[in-house]
Amino acid sequence: MKKKDISRRNFLKKSTLAMTASALLPAIFTSKTAFASDADKTKMFCYQCEQTMGGKGCTTIGVCGKTPEVAALQDLLIYTLKGLSLAAVAGRKVNISDKETNRFTCMAMFATLTNVEFDPYRFEDLLFQSVSLRDKMIKQVRAAGGTIDSKSPSLTLKLKPAMAGMAAQGMDYGLMSDPDVNPDIRSLQHMLLFGIKGMAAYTDHAAEHDQEDEGNYEFVHRGLAALEDKSLGMEQLLGLVLECGEKNLRAMELLSLGNTGAYGNPVPTKVPLGSKKGKAILVSGHDLIDLEAVLEASAGKEIFVYTHGELLPAHGYPKLKERFPHFYGHYGTAWQNQKKEFDAFPGAILMTSNCIQKPKQSYKKNIFTTGTVGMPGVTHLSNTNLVPLVDQALALPGYTQDTPDMDILVGFGHDAVLGVADKIVAGVKDGSIGHFFLVGGCDGVKKSRNYYTEFVEKTPANSIVLTLACGKFKFFKQQLGDINGIPRLLDVGQCNDAHSAVLIAVALTKAFDTDVNGLPLSFIISWYEQKAVAVLLSLLHLGINDIYLGPSLPAFVTPNVLDVLVKNYKLTPIGTPEGDLKKILG
C-alpha cells in the first residue's frame, strides 16, 4: 500500500475535438452587469458551489458551515498561492520545477474546496508554508539568474504573525475585492480558479499514487499566476478555462492509472446494501488508499468495513475485494445525508477527501478525518496510524444481527464496458439500444435534484444509463433491467471516473465512425462543487455539445458568459425530465 503521512503541522503530504477560445469570443460582450455586485469586502463572499446562499453568494456564513474566519483564511491562502505560482512560473523559465512546491500548491488548493477543510489552524499552517515556499523559490530563481517580472503584491505579501491576524488580513483578498473588474472577466477568472481547484484535487489524489505530470503542475501555476495578470482579456481567459478542462482530463487519467495500477481494473461486482452482524467501520469520501489503510488496520479483528458515498465504486476493484474478506458492503447514500446516516451507524467512521459536514454531537466521538479533510473538534488521523479508529469501532456495539437488503451492481469502468463493446455495437445496429445517457455528477440538498431520479425512471427501455459520482444515489436502487444481458444502469465509478466515461465515448466514436456529437449520447449533469466544475470544463474542452446542466447554473457565470456557453456548446439548463427527454430523443 502507498501510505501517506500527513502531519497537521508539517507538509509534505505526500484531442482533436478541442475547441479554441477565439472561436467562442464574438458572443461575449463587455458590458457591466449587476451580477453579484452587492458583495462588499468587509464580509465573507463565497459562491463557488451550487448551494450558495440564494443562488448568489454566502455572505455571513456558508450554507456549508464555512465561517467568515475560514473563508478569509482561504482567500488569503489563494492569494499567497498566486504569489507562489508567479515565482514558480519564473522558476520554470530557468529550469526550476520544485516537487515540494508542485505538490503543495495542489494540496493547498484542495483544502479550499467545498466541504473539505474547516479547521482555521490548518490554514494558518498552509499560509506559513505557502509564503515560505514562495520566498524560497524567489531566491532560487534569482540565484539561477532568472527574474520575476510581475509587480503583483502577492510576491511580497507578509503574513500577520498569528491566525486571527491572518483572518483579518484575508478580508482584503476576497473574490470581490476589486470592484472595478469587468464582471465577464471576473466570471471567467473565477471559472478558471474553481476549475483549477477541482483539477488540483484530482492531481493531489493521483500524486499519492506517484502519478504526476509536470505539464499539469506547470498549468496550475500558470493558471493561478494568470489571475494576477490584469491585462488578460476574454480570449486569453477563455483559452485558459478550456485548457483547464484539458489538463483536468489528464489529472483524472493519472488518478485512474493510479487506482487501477494499485487495485486492478474494476469488474462488475454485486455490493450488499445490508449489514452483517459484527463490529463496523464506515469509510466515506473518495480516497482508495485511505480505504486500503483502513482494511489493513482492521484485518483479523472481526470488524466489517462498509463504504459510504463516493467510495461505493471501491467494491469493483478486484485487488481490494480479494485481499480483504471483511470488506463487506455499502451503507447510506450521498454526502448531504451523512448527519442522519452517520448518526445511525453503530460503528466508527473515517472521512477521507470531501464532503464532510459539521458532525452532530451524537456521533462526533465516532468520526475521524484523514488526508486533506478536517473539522475542528474531530480527531485527525494519519492513515499510517488508524489505531484510534479501530479502537473506537471495537468499543462501539456494531451490528447485533445480520440485516439483509438488496445488492446493487458496480464496476462498469471503461475496461468492463469495452469488454462488451461488441454486444453494445450490435445492439445499436439492430436498434435494441437506441440511446445512451450519461447521468452523472453530484448529489445535494435541493429538492429540484429529484429531476435526476425522474429522468432516469423515464428513460426509454431501449436506452443505457451510464452514471458516475454521488449524484447516482438519486436512482442507484432503480431496477432498470437489461438489454441483451447488458444492465441498463451502469455504474462507471466516482466523479474522477468521468475519464473512464470519456474513453467509452471515444471507443463508441470509433465503432460508429463518427465524432462524439454524432453518437446517440446525451450528458445530463448535476453539479455541486469545484471538482464538478473541472469535469464540466473537460467536457467543454472535448467539444461535447448538448450538455444538460442542473439543478441550477453556477452563480459565478454571468449572463454574457452563459450566452457563449449556450451558443457554442448548447449547454442547456435542465427543464423537466419529460421535456428534456423529448428534446433529446426528438
Q: Can you give the binding site for ligand SF4, defined by CB under 6 A? A: 46-49, 51-52, 58, 62-64, 66, 114
Please say which residue, 114 or 369, places its beta carbon nearer to ligand SF4. Answer: 114
- Entry field: residues in the chain: 586
Minimum CB separation from ligand SF4 for residue 157, in Å?
23
CA distance 561 to 572: 13
Q: Give 46's DSSP letter.
A: B
Sign of CA dihedral 113, 102, 376, 443: positive
Please say which residue, 63 or 232, places its beta carbon nearer to ligand FSO. Answer: 63
442 binds, among ligand FSO, ligand SF4, none (CB under 5 to 8 A by kind): ligand FSO
**Residues 371, 110: contact at Cβ < 8 Å?**
no
Minimum CB separation from ligand FSO for residue 493, in Å?
10
SS in 3 state form for 208-256?
HCCCCCHHHHHHHHHHHHHCCCCCCCHHHHHHHHHHHHHHHHHHHHHHH
Minimum CB separation from ligand FSO for residue 422, in Å?
31
Please say which residue, 447 or 510, places its beta carbon nearer to ligand SF4. Answer: 447
Please say which residue, 64 or 378, places its beta carbon nearer to ligand SF4. Answer: 64
Minimum CB separation from ligand FSO for residue 177, in Å?
27
221 binds, among ligand SF4, ligand FSO, none (CB under 5 to 8 A by kind): none
150 binds ligand FSO (CB under 6 A): no
Those residues with Cβ within 8 angstroms of residue 383's Cβ, 6 or more apart along the chain or in another chain: 3, 4, 5, 6, 289, 290, 293, 294, 370, 371
Q: Is 267 left (phi over 0), alpha (psi -120 to 50) or beta?
A: beta
Please say which residue, 134 or 474, places its beta carbon nearer to ligand FSO. Answer: 474
91: cell is: 522558476
475 binds ligand FSO (CB under 6 A): no
Please say which residue, 55 or 419, places its beta carbon nearer to ligand SF4. Answer: 55
CA distance 279 to 393: 6
Please say which residue, 203 or 354, places its beta carbon nearer to ligand SF4. Answer: 354
**Candidate residues 251, 428, 470, 492; the one interacting with ligand FSO per rule CB under 6 A:** 470
End-to-end CA distance of the chain: 50
40: cell is: 462588499
Strands, E assignment, 275-319: 279-284, 303-307
Burial class of 397 by CB neighbour count within 10 A (0 to 12, 13 to 18, 19+): exposed
Within 299-336, where are the H helices?
Answer: 318-323
418 binds, among ligand FSO, ligand SF4, none (CB under 5 to 8 A by kind): none
94 binds, among ligand FSO, ligand SF4, none (CB under 5 to 8 A by kind): none
240 binds ligand FSO (CB under 6 A): no
State the residue number with the nearest CB to ligand SF4. Answer: 62
How far out from the chain centre does Cα 73 lie?
21
Greatest CA separation found in the chain?
Answer: 70
Minimum CB separation from ligand SF4 for residue 322, in Å?
39
Identify the three-state secondary structure at position 493.
strand
219 binds ligand FSO (CB under 6 A): no
Minimum CB separation from ligand FSO for residue 108, in Å?
17
309 binds, among ligand FSO, ligand SF4, none (CB under 5 to 8 A by kind): ligand FSO
**Residues 286, 379: contact at Cβ < 8 Å?**
no
Of residues 478 through 507, those in contact with ligand FSO by CB under 6 A are 494-495
* Three-point CA angle 485, 489, 494, nearest 5°: 130
Please say which residue, 49 or 138, places its beta carbon nearer to ligand SF4. Answer: 49
Q: Which amino acid would we find at residue 245?
A: G
52 binds, among ligand SF4, ligand FSO, none (CB under 5 to 8 A by kind): ligand SF4
290 binds ligand FSO (CB under 6 A): no
Please say which residue, 57 or 329, places its beta carbon nearer to ligand SF4. Answer: 57
Sign of CA dihedral 144, 147, 153, 154: negative
Please say which residue, 197 or 541, places its beta carbon nearer to ligand FSO. Answer: 197
495 binds, among ligand FSO, ligand SF4, none (CB under 5 to 8 A by kind): ligand FSO
CA distance 225 to 420: 45
CA distance 89 to 392: 46
Q: What share of the chain is helix, strand, coil (3-state, %, to 5)?
A: 50, 15, 40
527: cell is: 453539479
49 binds, among ligand SF4, ligand FSO, none (CB under 5 to 8 A by kind): ligand SF4
H and E: helices and strands count for the chain: 19, 16
261: cell is: 495500477
Please say which residue, 198 or 543, places its beta carbon nearer to ligand FSO. Answer: 198
Please say which residue, 278 or 550, places its beta carbon nearer to ligand SF4. Answer: 550
279 binds ligand FSO (CB under 6 A): no
66 binds, among ligand FSO, ligand SF4, none (CB under 5 to 8 A by kind): ligand SF4
Please say which residue, 134 or 541, places its beta carbon nearer to ligand FSO. Answer: 541
428 binds, among ligand FSO, ligand SF4, none (CB under 5 to 8 A by kind): none
367 binds ligand FSO (CB under 6 A): no
Range in contact with ligand FSO (rule: CB under 6 A) among 86-94, 360-368, 529-537, 555-563:
529-537
**Residues 307, 291: contact at Cβ < 8 Å?**
yes
528 binds ligand FSO (CB under 6 A): yes
**Contact residues for ligand FSO, defined by CB under 6 A:** 286, 309-310, 335, 354-355, 442, 469-470, 494-495, 528-529, 531-532
